[in-house]
Amino acid sequence: LRENNVEEFRSLFFELHPYDQAKFFLKLDQPDRMLLYQILSPEEMANVFENIRDDKNRYKSLLEEMHPAFAAKMMEYMYADDAADVLSELTKEKISSYLTIMDAQTAKSISELLDYEQFTAGSIMTTEFVAINANYTVQSTMDLLRKEAPDAETIYYLYVIDEEKHLVGVLSLRDLIVHEDDTLIADIMKKKVYSVSVADDQEEVARKMKDYNFLALPVVDFQHRLVGIITVDDIIDVLDEEASDDYSKLAAVSDVDSYDPNAVSAAKKRLPWLIILLFLGMFTAGLIGQFEETLNKVATLALFIPLIAGMAGNTGTQALAVAVRRIATGEGTSERVWKIILKEAGTGLITGTVCGIVVALTIFIWKQKFFLGLLVGLSILSTLTVATIAGAFVPLVMHRLRIDPAVASGPFITTINDMISILIYFGMATLFMNYLL
């Protein structure tokens, strides 16, 4: 199709939305892609490249198959934040080799973006925004907008700065068009501007944007000078990333979202977790080994090991999930930690009592053994209480120690709770052995 008629292909291709162009591009094999680099201009290719955000791991190999001059030109045409995103996947040497053949000013703004630490507002912001002065009129602002519209990432918010580039006001395009041509910007701008600092965590920025329903947020440096903006589309990606990150960690997979072409690559991602969990499991086995004598006397005890350990794991995961989400939504403020733990202890006590009674009755009816039922019931009661507290306590403490609480992933809490539950169960069984025989 493509080789026959370049013109026809081009017209078909440009009818597609850039996102679909990118999807099409990624499906091509290498020779076809090489052909495309010749058919499309760097500017057109930039549009395609900006839309392969979901497959960041392919940036590197794609760049390498392009002619360096073409690649550099293409990145010049990309929004600075997207270009920085692409380059951040490369080595330091590669980056500077691309930057040196770019237009000096673009190279400068890209390399500034690359300097910001990962996951901060600075690293996701773009420098293509529209800034105006307070002494502009509506008319002169509109004139400026018409000129800058093709380059700016959004023109729906206009930021007002003073001579030192300090952010002093904000104005939406909506405000602008409803006012008379000769109105002074100073008279209609909002002086209370919500902004974030370059060093703010991207998750905080995302929360703010979501709560306040902004389409863009200005980013200021430590001297409160406007240096960039973050637009809502970047924030959607951040929220999505963070959510799937929490999800991955609860499931103990390194990265649940990236595509695995084959079984080996999938296995590689899961094995490190599994091996760690395997050794934690060996500890549990060792722990039960300490009670081998008890087990030899009453083998029936083994029947309820998975039940008790499983319940401890489940309830711990519930408490963990609630705590992790509470922290993620910013509700985990420090003063209330003890109140939260106390509440979780209450929750554990209630669920433990109910489950304990249910299990004791079931075993009593099933096995006709009163003391065995009592033992398992009491173990469930104490295990659930302790496991619930552990599930909530561990992430909250990690959060205060500034470790991402989501790394206290489901299986870890589960394994810890396995051990606690076995200690409680066999401990009690050994103590009250006389009643069980």
Write out the binding residues for a second copy, residues 120-149 only, by CB under 8 A. 142, 145-146, 149
Quick note: the x/- pattern for a second copy over 75-94, rule CB under 8 A, is: --------------------
Q: Which stretch binds a second copy (CB under 8 A): 36-44, 66-74, 91-99, 263-271?
A: 263-271
Shortest separation between residue 407's beta carbon and a second copy, angstroms: 15
Contact stretch for a second copy (CB under 8 A) within 1-9, 118-126, 357-365, 429-437: 357-365
Interatomic CA distance for residues 417 and 213, integer angstroms: 41
Instruction: Pick the closer one to a second copy by CB: 263 or 437.
Output: 263
Q: Bridge-partner residues for 78, per DSSP? A: none
Using the rule CB under 8 A, is 306 a contact of a second copy?
yes
DSSP code string of 298-332: -GGGGGGHHHHHHHHHHHHHHHHHHHHHHHHTT--
Residue from 90, 101, 188, 355 in contact with a second copy (CB under 8 A) = 355
Min CB(1)–a second copy separation in Å? 20
d(CA 50, CA 33): 16
How many angstroms separate the CA atoms of 391 and 393, rounded? Answer: 6
**Near a second copy in 364-383, by CB under 8 A:** 366, 380
Task: State the Cα–Cα distance between residues 396 and 323, nearest whole angstrom.
Answer: 7
Find out whether 138 and 191 touch, Cβ atoms under 8 Å: no
Q: How far is the CB of 423 from a second copy (least distance, A)?
A: 12
Whole-number Å distance between alpha carbons of 291 and 395 = 31
Q: Are 393 and 341 in contact (CB under 8 A)?
A: yes
Considering beta carbons, is residue 70 or 310 the nearer one to a second copy? 310
Residue 6's identity, in one-letter code, is V
35-43, 96-104, 114-122, 306-314 -> range binding a second copy (CB under 8 A): 306-314
Region of 271 (left: φ > 0; alpha: ψ -120 to 50; beta: rest) is alpha
Residues 6+ apart with CB under 8 A from 218: 129, 157, 159, 167, 170, 193, 195, 196, 226, 228, 229
* Number of residues binding to a second copy, judged by CB under 8 A: 110
User: Which of residues 322, 337, 423, 428 is near a second copy by CB under 8 A?
Assistant: 322
Distance of alpha carbon 184 from alpha carbon 238, whole angstroms: 37
CB 93, min distance to a second copy, A:
32
List 24, 37, 70, 273, residue binding a second copy (CB under 8 A): 273
Residue whose token pair is 């554990």: 348
Pairing of β 131-132 and β 157-161: parallel
Nearer to a second copy, 69 or 302 (CB): 302
Q: Tell me if 257 contacts a second copy by CB under 8 A.
A: yes
Cα separation, 331 vs 334, in Å, equals 9
Residues 53-72 within binding reach of a second copy (CB under 8 A): 54
- CB-based burial label for 392 (10 Å; 0-12, 13-18, 19+): buried
Q: Which of 104, 177, 365, 401 binds a second copy (CB under 8 A)?
A: 177
**Residues 21, 73, 246, 393: which binds a second copy (CB under 8 A)?**
246
Which of these segments, 102-110, 123-131, 294-302, 394-402, binds a second copy (CB under 8 A)? 294-302
Nearer CB in complex with a second copy: 107/388: 388
Q: Is 305 in the site for a second copy (CB under 8 A)?
A: yes
240 dihedral zone (left: phi>0; alpha: psi -120 to 50; beta): alpha
Which residues touch 78 (CB under 8 Å, ≥6 apart)?
46, 49, 50, 86
Q: In whole angstroms, what is the distance from residue 293 CA to residue 371 CA?
A: 19
Binding flag, residue 398, a second copy (CB under 8 A): no
Site for a second copy contains 161 (CB under 8 A): no
Q: Could you tell me which stretch among 84-92, 96-104, 203-211, 428-436 binds a second copy (CB under 8 A)?
A: 203-211
Nearer to a second copy by Cβ, of 104 and 299: the residue is 299
Which residues between 210 and 229 bind a second copy (CB under 8 A)?
A: 210-213, 215
Q: Looking at beta carbons only, is 73 or 356 nearer to a second copy?
A: 356
DSSP string, 41-99: -HHHHHHHHTT-GGGGGGHHHHHHHS-HHHHHHHHHHS-HHHHHHHHTTS-HHHHHHHH
Identify whether the C-beta of residue 221 lies closer than 8 Å to the C-beta of residue 197. yes
Which is nearer to a second copy, 98 or 136 (by Cβ)? 136
Under the criterion CB under 8 A, does residue 351 sit at the interface with a second copy? yes
Nearer to a second copy, 23 or 165 (CB): 23
Of 65-73, 162-170, 172-180, 217-225, which segment contacts a second copy by CB under 8 A?
172-180
